[in-house]
Amino acid sequence: MEKNINVTLKIWRQAGPKVKGEFEIYKLDNVSTDSSFLEMLDMLNEKLIHARKEPIAFDHDCREGICGMCSLYINGHPHGLDGETTTCQLHMRRFHDGQTITIEPWRSAAFPVIKDLMVDRGAYDKIIQAGGYVSVNTGGIPDGNAIPISKLAADEAMDAASCIGCGACAAACKNGSAMLFVAAKVSQLALLPQGKIEAAARAKAMVAKMDELGFGNCTNTQACEAECPKGISISHIARLNREFLSAKFKD
């Protein structure tokens, strides 16, 4: 049942990556519980613009839980308290009247703040560029059904491919590790015949790039899995370790 609530917003404001930031407090009244979290921020920005104040910068695109750009730390959790939910899918019915909501950007050295709640997640793109792809000859391409793949492998590859690269895993990890992201991207290709050819080079290159970009080591606390909006399993990290060690032994 729809109702309106009043909330207090404690939001991180930072003008740029080299500028000291701080929390600012805002009061927002008559927020519909049927509105999404991002719609609530839109309401706040409309209020700020009307008052001739600087609106809050935050990232978003599809608002359908697909792109991962809506990356916010909400009350101490990436994307909020709801499991397997992105920020854009979070609704204000999950909050109560008079509640204080703390909103922060990702806290990770590899994701520097651009402005306010926006961070640069380009490090993930660089990891993908290092090896998260397959090389094929152009021209006559065989039909996709021509290569038999077991349903078990196909399902597991699809589960890994559901990773949207939002960065919640690194933001949740006490070490700022990107292992779950890298593992998902390696796993989705390692399970399929199209990805076997470059498997060894891929595992080594992506892990090396991850280390180069300053991500921390995995200590298996499972915080990444718990906070992942797509429920990516840490079992993929085990596969990444096997792929990496196998590649090293071949060397």
pLDDT for position 75 = 97
115-161 pLDDT, tens digit each: 999 999 999 999 999 999 998 777 776 676 778 889 999 999 999 99
Please state whether 49 falls in left (phi above 0), alpha (psi between -120 and 50) or beta: alpha
b or e along 195-233 (b: 16 or more beta carbons within 10 Å of the residue's beta carbon)?
beebbbebbbbbbebbeebebbebeeeebbbebbbbebb
pLDDT for position 31 = 97
pLDDT for position 139 = 74
Q: How high is the mean pLDDT of the chain?
A: 94
Contact 173, 234 (CB under 8 A): no
Q: Residue 238 above 70 pLDDT?
A: yes
Contact 102, 76 (CB under 8 A): yes
**3-state secondary structure at position 102:** strand
164-221 pLDDT, tens digit each: 999 999 999 999 999 999 999 999 999 998 899 899 999 999 999 999 999 999 999 9
Which residues in 77-200 belong to E strands, given as ranges? 77-78, 100-104, 113-115, 118-119
Compute the Cα dihedral for 165, 167, 173, 177 and give only its sign: positive
**Beta bridge partner(s), residue 120:** none
Q: Residue 28 above 70 pLDDT?
A: yes
Query: CB count, 10 Å around CB of 52?
Result: 6
CATH classification number, 4-115, choose in 1.10.15.40, 3.10.20.30, 2.30.40.10, 3.30.420.40: 3.10.20.30
Q: Is 151 exposed, middle or buried (0-12, 13-18, 19+ CB in 10 A)?
A: exposed
The third-level CATH classification (topology) of the domain covering 122-250 is: Fumarate Reductase Iron-sulfur Protein; Chain B, domain 2 (1.10.1060)
pTM here? Answer: 0.92
Q: How far is CA 110 from CA 19, 55, 102, 175, 212, in A?
A: 17, 25, 22, 11, 10
Contact 160, 236 (CB under 8 A): yes
Q: Residue 251 above 90 pLDDT?
A: no
pLDDT for position 79 = 97
Q: Are both 4-115 and 122-250 of the same fold?
A: no
pLDDT for position 144 = 66
Give percent above pLDDT 70 in the chain. 98
- Structural domain spans, the chain: 4-115, 122-250
Q: Which of 13, 6, 75, 3 is nearest to 33 (CA)?
A: 3
* Cα–Cα distance measured from residue 40 to residue 46, given in angstroms and rounded to the nearest whole number: 10
